[in-house]
Amino acid sequence: MGRLSTLAVTVPVIALAVAWLALLGAERIGISALWGLIPRNLAEAAAFRDGAAIVRAVARGENPDAPAEVRAGFLSTEPLALTPLEAAARVSGEEVVRLLLDLGAGRDAAAWTRAWCSTGADAVRAELSAARPADAATECR
């Protein structure tokens, strides 16, 4: 009884310590048991509201207005080709929209209009309005 009770109390704590360190090791190489999605491009980083991934991608030279595929099951049941600004606008991420604008996105009128028309959120539209290119249309079809 004594040995069994000692084991019964100790084993969960040992399991915790081992699992914790294993989890950390796995997360370090990009495998997470708690969270699953790693952005594959700038549009996905915007859709996932991952500011640091956006900054890193732009620093690597990715075009902040280039459309890219956002995988199925996140914004839609189908994969979508979106600009980063459009993806951020769709998730109502006004902070991400502001970040992308700061990083040079939305200077292309067509990219700006796509973002404008993909959202009705006032906060997002306010951010976009402040950086509207002169030739960008606000009429959405």
Partner 1 sequence: MTPRTAAFTLASLLALALASDLLWMPVQVSDSLDEIIDARASPSAWASFTESLRSDDNHLRPLRVAQTKVLYDLAAGHYWLAYRGFHAALLVTAVLLFTAALRVSTATDAAAAALALVVFIGSRTFRGNIEEAFPVNHFLEVVVLCLLTLNLARSSRQAWWLDAAAVFALAAAALTLESGLLVWVVASGAWLVGWRGISRWGLVAMTAVLTAYVVLRLIYVASGTGLPDRSTGFGFTMLDPADLQQRFGDRALVLYAYNVAASALAVLFAEPRNGVFIATRTLMSNELEPWLVIPVVTSAVTTLLIVCTAAHTVRRSDVRDDTIRWIVLSTIVLVANAVVSYSYTKDEITGVAGAFYALAAFAAVRVVLNTATMTRSAATATAVTIVALLSIGWSVRAAGMHYLLRAQAFRHQNDWVRLPGMWQRSGRWPDDAAAQQLITTLREAAVDMDLPNPRVGERWWVARIWED
In angstroms, the CA 85 to CA 112 distance is 8
Paired with 81 in beta bridges are 69
* H-type alpha helices, 82-121: 84-90, 94-102, 109-117
In angstroms, the CA 42 to CA 57 distance is 6
The answer to whether 76 contacts partner 1 (rule: CB under 8 A) is no
Residue pointed to by tokens 């970040």: 99
With CB under 8 A as the rule, give the number of residues binding partner 1.
Answer: 48
Q: What 8-state DSSP symbol labels residue 61?
A: T
- Cβ 141 to partner 1, closest distance in Å? 30
- Interface residue with partner 1 among 70, 82, 99, 106 (CB under 8 A) is 99
- Interface residue with partner 1 among 13, 61, 77, 139 (CB under 8 A) is 13
- Interface residue with partner 1 among 42, 54, 80, 85 (CB under 8 A) is 54
- The helix/strand/coil state of 112 is helix
The answer to whether 35 contacts partner 1 (rule: CB under 8 A) is yes
The answer to whether 53 contacts partner 1 (rule: CB under 8 A) is yes
Q: List residues binding partner 1 (CB under 8 A).
A: 1-21, 23-24, 27-28, 30, 32-39, 48-56, 74, 95, 98-99, 102
